[in-house]
C-alpha cells in the first residue's frame, strides 16, 4: 500500500510552528521568573504560575495533535523521527515551565516567608549571566527548528559548558554566604533548588537538541559530552 502523505507535510509544518511558538513563550516566562528571583519582586509570580498551568494543558493538546497526524497518515521513517522529536520538544518545554514555576516559588519564599530583601550581589550577576546563556542556547536550537536547518553543535556545546561552570560557581557563592543574608538553611536550600532548576532546564534542552539532530540527519550525537 502506498503511504498516505496527503497533507502530511503541512501538518508537520504546523506542529513545528506550534513548537517554536511554545518555546518563545517559555523563554518569555522563564525570564520573568528569573527576574523575580534576582530582584525578589514577587508581583509577577502569579503570571508564572498561571503560565505553568496553561503549559500543562498545551502539552496534552500538542500530544493530541501529534497522535492525530499518526492516525491520519502513514509516516515514513524520516517523518516519524520528526514526530517523535516534536513530542520530545513539547515535553521539554513543559518541564521548562515547571522549572520556571519552581524558581518563582523560591522568590516568594525568600521575600514573603523569610523576609529577605535581596540576594547576594555576586549571585545576581551569576544568575543573570546563566539565564542569558540559557536563553541564547534555546533560541539557537529553535532557530534551527524554525528554518529546518542543521544545528550549530559547537555553539550549543560551548553554551552548555558555560552554564555548567556558572552553576558550580553559584553553588560556591551560596555555600559561603552567611545564613542571615539568605534566610538561613531554608533560604540556602531553596536558592540551591532554583539554580539547579536552571541547570536542569539547560540539560533538558541539550538532550532535545540531540533529538533534533537525529531527526534531521538520522545520526545520534551527545552534545553534553
Tell me the pLDDT tens digit for each residue of 28-79: 999 999 999 999 999 999 999 999 999 999 999 999 998 888 888 788 999 9
Asked whether the predicted pLDDT for residue 102 surpasses 80, the reply is yes
| Contact between residue 199 and residue 163 where contact means Cβ atoms under 8 Å apart | yes
Asked whether the predicted pLDDT for residue 3 surpasses 90, the reply is no
Domain boundaries, the chain: 8-217
* Mean of the per-residue pLDDT values of the chain: 94
**What mean pLDDT is predicted for residues 162-189?**
95
Which residues does 8 contact at the CB level (< 8 Å), separation at least 6? 69, 72, 73, 75, 79
Asked whether the predicted pLDDT for residue 161 surpasses 60, the reply is yes
User: pLDDT tens across 185-211, in order?
Assistant: 999 999 999 999 999 999 999 999 999
**Above pLDDT 70, what percent of the chain?**
97
**What mean pLDDT is predicted for residues 157-173?**
98
**What mean pLDDT is predicted for residues 113-138?**
96
Q: Does domain 8-217 have CATH number 1.20.58.220?
A: yes
Own/partner pairs, 90-93, CB within 8 angstroms, 24+ separation: 90/19, 90/22, 90/58, 90/59, 90/62, 90/63, 90/66, 91/59, 92/204, 92/205, 92/207, 92/208, 93/19, 93/22, 93/23, 93/26, 93/55, 93/59
Q: What is the enclosing helix (H) or strand (E) of 217?
A: helix 184-217
| Contact between residue 151 and residue 209 where contact means Cβ atoms under 8 Å apart | yes
pTM equals 0.95
pLDDT of 4: 58
pLDDT of 71: 84
pLDDT of 222: 96
pLDDT of 1: 46
pLDDT of 221: 96
Q: Phi/psi of residue 29, each to 5°?
A: -70, -40
**What mean pLDDT is predicted for residues 139-147?**
98
Amino acid at each position: 500500500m502506498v503511504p498516505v502523505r496527503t497533507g502530511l507535510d503541512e501538518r508537520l509544518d504546523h506542529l513545528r510552528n506550534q513548537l517554536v511558538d511554545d518555546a518563545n513563550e517559555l523563554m518569555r516566562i522563564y525570564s520573568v521568573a528569573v527576574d523575580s528571583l534576582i530582584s525578589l519582586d514577587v508581583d509577577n509570580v502569579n503570571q508564572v504560575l498561571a503560565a505553568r498551568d496553561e503549559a500543562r494543558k498545551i502539552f496534552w493538546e500538542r500530544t493530541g495533535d501529534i497522535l492525530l497526524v499518526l492516525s491520519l497518515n502513514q509516516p515514513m521513517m524520516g517523518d516519524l523521527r520528526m514526530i517523535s522529536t516534536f513530542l520530545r520538544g513539547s515535553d521539554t518545554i513543559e518541564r521548562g515551565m515547571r522549572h520556571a514555576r519552581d524558581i518563582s516559588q523560591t522568590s516568594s519564599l525568600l521575600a514573603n516567608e523569610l523576609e529577605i530583601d535581596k540576594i547576594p550581589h555576586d549571585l545576581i550577576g551569576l544568575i543573570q549571566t546563566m539565564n542569558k546563556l540559557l536563553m541564547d542556547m534555546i533560541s539557537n536550537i529553535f532557530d534551527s527548528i524554525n528554518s529546518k536547518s542543521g544545528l550549530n553543535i559547537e555553539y550549543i556545546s560551548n553554551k552548555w559548558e558555560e552554564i555548567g561552570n556558572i552553576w558550580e560557581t553559584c553553588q560556591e557563592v551560596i555555600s559561603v554566604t552567611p545564613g542571615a543574608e539568605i534566610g538561613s538553611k531554608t533560604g540556602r536550600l531553596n536558592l540551591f533548588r532554583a539554580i539547579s532548576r536552571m541547570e536542569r532546564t539547560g540539560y533538558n534542552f541539550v538532550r532535545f537538541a540531540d533529538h533534533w539532530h537525529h531527526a534531521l540527519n538520522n545520526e545520534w550525537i551527545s552534545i553534553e559530552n
